[in-house]
Structure 1
Amino acid sequence: MKSALFRKPALVGLDIQPGKIRLVQLAIFKSHYRIDRIARRDLPVGVFRDGVICDWGGLQQELAAFVSVCDLTSAAAAVSLPSHLVRTDHIQVPTGLSRQEKEAAIWGAIKADASHPKAALSIDFVELPADDSGYSSVFFAVAQEAYLTKLIDCMKRAGLFPKIIDIDRYATLRAASFARQAQLSDGTSALLHLCDGTASLIIFNADDILFHQQWLLDEHLINETVQRYLDFYSTMHPASSVQRLLFCGSPLHYGCLREMRVNGQSIFIESVDLASQMHVATHVNDEDFHTFNFDYLLACGLALRELTPW
C-alpha cells in the first residue's frame, strides 16, 4: 500500500496529539482562506504512550464522537505523523527513471540501516526539478506500514476520509510561512513553536528543513534551551547561519525570549500571528482561535497542504 504523503490537499486539518484533538476546516472565499469550523476535544489518558498512539479503539471512539458533533461524516481530512516516526532524506538519481526504479533506488539507500524488512515500510517520494547534470534529486519519506495502516483505518472507522498523511514539522512550517505572508527564500531561518507543554525548533531554508528538535517545555529555560540548539546547529553547519527566529506561542512565553546570537551576531526575533491572516466565517465562534491560534498551527498547516512547496 502506498502512503498518502505529498498528495493533493484536503481542506480539513486534523491534529491528533497526546491529550487533545484539534480540527480546522477551511474554505476558499474571495481568493482568501476562511475558517468554516474550528474545534478541539480532550483525549483520555492512555490513548498515547511515549508520543505514539497505542489505544486505537479508544482513539476511534473519541474521534467518531468528535466527527459526529462537528457534522463532518465522510469529510476529507489531512492528518500528520510525528517526525520521529518518519525518516526523510534526499538521493540523486538519473533523470528519466520509472517510479519502480526510483523506489528501488530509495530502498537501496535505506536498507543498510533499516530495522524493518521492505514489506513493513511505506515509501513515498517527490522528484524535484532536474538541472542540466542529467541527475535529479528525489525527496523521500519512509514510515512503518503497520502504524500508517492503523491510523488510516481508525480515521475511516470514525467516519472520515483520510486524504493526506503529512509530516508534522512540514505542516507546522507551512502554516507559519502562510501567517508571515512571505516565502523565506533569503538565507536560513528558525521557527520556535510552543504548544501543549512542548517546544519545537525547526531550522530551514527555501529548499528544505535542515534541523528539527522537540523537547518538553520549561518556561524558565526557553531562552537558554533555544540558544543551545542554535549553537549546536551552528557548530554542525558553520556555513549556514540562522538569520532570524520566528516565534509562535503565547505572549507570556514570547516575553521570556531575550537576545539570541549566532556566530557572534544578533538575530532578529519575530512573532508570527496566524489569526491576523485568517478570515473567520460569521457562524464560527472565533474567540478560541484568536486567543490561542498558536495551538492550531499544525491543524491549519494540514488544511493548507497545497499552499506552499512544504
Structure 2
Amino acid sequence: MSLLRPKKQPLLGIDISSTSVKLVELSQQGTGYRVEAYAVEPLPPNAVAEKNIADAESVADTIKRAVKRSGTRNKQCALAVPSSAVISKHITLPASIKEADMEGQIQIEADQYIPYALEEVNLDFEVLGPSAQNPETVDVLLVATRSENVEIRIGAANLAGLTPKIVDVESYATENAALLCSNQYHEDGPDKIVAIVDVGATMTSITVLENDAIAYTREQPFGGKQLTEDIMRRYGLSYTEAGVAKKEGQLPENYVPEILEPFKDNMAQQVHRFLQFYFAASEHQSVDYILLAGGCASIPGVDELIETRLGTPTAIANPFGQMSIAGRINAQRLGSDAPALMIACGLAMRSFD
C-alpha cells in the first residue's frame, strides 16, 4: 500500500478524525476543480482516541453513513495516517543510482532512521530532484509508519465497502489543500511562510509551509471538546446536549462573555505557543500568514482575535473558494464546514496527481 505514490483514478478523500468522518469528492474541470460530493458524519464516543482507531467497526459504520449522506457512488478512496504516527526524513543519494536499485538502497538507508524492524512498517519514498548543494546527488523524501496504523484504516474502509488506493499522511494532505488557498496569502507575492493551524475537537496541529513546501509539523492535544465540556459543566447538560446547543446557538446570553471568549483567548494562546515551537526549531522568528483550519476555525471572530494578539495576518482556510459546486450540495453549509475539510480535500486531490 503506497504512502505517497499517486494513482490516477477518481478517489473519495476520507478523513477519520477523533470525532467524525469527513468525505470529499472532486472532479477536474480544465485547470480547476468541482465539488461533486461531501459529508461530515459524527463518530460514536471513543471510537477514535486522539486519532488512534479503537473501534474499527464503528468507524466503518460511520464511513458508510458518510458515503450514503454524500450521495456518491464512488467506491475508491484515499485515507491518511496522523502525522504524529509517521517518521519522515530527507536523505540524499547518488544521482547515478538506477531506478531499479533505488528501493534496495532506500531500505538500507531507512534502517538508520526507523526505530522498528522494517517488516513492521509501511515504507515509501519520493525522489524530490537534484540536491541544491551537490548536483551529483538527489534529495529523497523517506516516509514510514507502523503497519498497524495503515492496516486498521484499510480494514475500516473495507468494512464500509470501499477500496483504499492511497494511504497518505495528514500533513501532506493539508499541504495539498493549502495550495488551493494560496489566493488567500499570495496576494502580495509568493515565497511566503504560512502556518496552517488546524484546531479540531481533541487535537491541534500546525503545518508550516515555506515556499509552498512543508518545513515543520507538530500535533498536541487541545480542541473544541474543551469548549463543549465547559458548556456541560456550566449549564448542567450532557455532552451531546452541550454539543447541539453549541452548534445551534441555543445558549444563555452569558455564554459568550463567560465561556466562549475565554476559550477563544485560550485558542489564541495555543496558536502562539505552536509558533514558538516552530521558531525554536527553525531559523525564522516570524510567519507571513496564518490559516486557521479545523472545526474551531468557524468560531466567529477567532481569526480577528488571533491576528490582533499575534500581529500576523490571519484568515479562515477555504480550499473550495475557487471551485464550482454540484447542484445537490448546499453551498452555505459547505462554506461553513470548509475549514474542517482540509485533509479530506487534500486526499481527494490525489485523484489528479
The answer to whether TM tops 0.5 is yes
For residue 4 of structure 1, report the CA deviation from its aligned partner: 4.2
Q: Write 1 or 2 for the structure with the bigger share of strand.
A: 1
Determine if the alignment matches structure 1 residue 254 to structure 2 residue 303.
yes
* Structure-2 residue corresponding to 1:37: 37
Q: Contact between 1:67 and 1:159, CA under 8 Å: does it hold in 2? A: no
Match of 1:34, SS? strand
Match of 2:26, SS? strand
* Identity among equivalent pairs (%): 23
Q: Contact between 1:180 and 1:273, CA under 8 Å: does it hold in 2? A: no
For residue 204 of structure 1, report the CA deviation from its aligned partner: 1.9
**Alignment-mate amino acid for residue 21 of structure 1:** V
Q: Contact between 2:81 and 2:149, CA under 8 Å: does it hold in 1? A: no
Render the CA deviation track for 1:280-301: whole Å, top value 9, x for unaligned: 1112223321222112122111
- Correspondence 1:105-184 to 2 at 5 A: 105-112=105-112, 114-130=114-130, 133-181=135-183
* Structure-2 residue corresponding to 1:273: 318
Q: Contact between 2:18 and 2:202, CA under 8 Å: does it hold in 1? A: no
Q: Distance in 2 between matches of 1:203 and 1:70?
A: 31
* Structure-2 residue corresponding to 1:103: 103
- Correspondence 1:2-13 to 2 at 5 A: 2-8=1-7, 10-13=10-13
Determine if the alignment matches structure 1 residue 55 to structure 2 residue 55.
yes
Match of 2:199, SS? strand
Q: Distance in 2 between matches of 1:48 and 1:117?
A: 26
Q: Contact between 1:126 and 1:139, CA under 8 Å: does it hold in 2? A: yes
RMSD: 2.8
**Alignment-mate amino acid for residue 89 of structure 1:** K
Question: Which of 240, 243, 262 in structure 1 is aligned with 2:288?
Answer: 243
Q: TM-score w.r.t. structure 2 length?
A: 0.75
Q: Contact between 2:176 and 2:346, CA under 8 Å: does it hold in 1? A: yes
Q: 1:289–1:187: structure 2 CA closer, same or farther, 3 Å change rule?
A: closer
**Alignment-mate amino acid for residue 139 of structure 2:** S
Q: Distance in 1 between matches of 2:11 and 2:275?
A: 34
Q: Which segment drifts farther, 283-292 or 20-29?
A: 283-292
**Alignment-mate amino acid for residue 272 of structure 1:** A
For residue 277 of structure 1, report the CA deviation from its aligned partner: 1.8
The answer for unaligned runs of 5 or more in structure 1 is none
Q: Distance in 2 between matches of 1:46 and 1:224?
A: 27
Q: TM-score w.r.t. structure 1 length?
A: 0.85
Q: Give the number of equivalent residue pairs.
A: 303
For residue 128 of structure 1, report the CA deviation from its aligned partner: 1.3
For residue 233 of structure 1, report the CA deviation from its aligned partner: 2.4
* Structure-2 residue corresponding to 1:24: 24
Q: Which segment drifts farther, 268-277 or 112-121?
A: 268-277
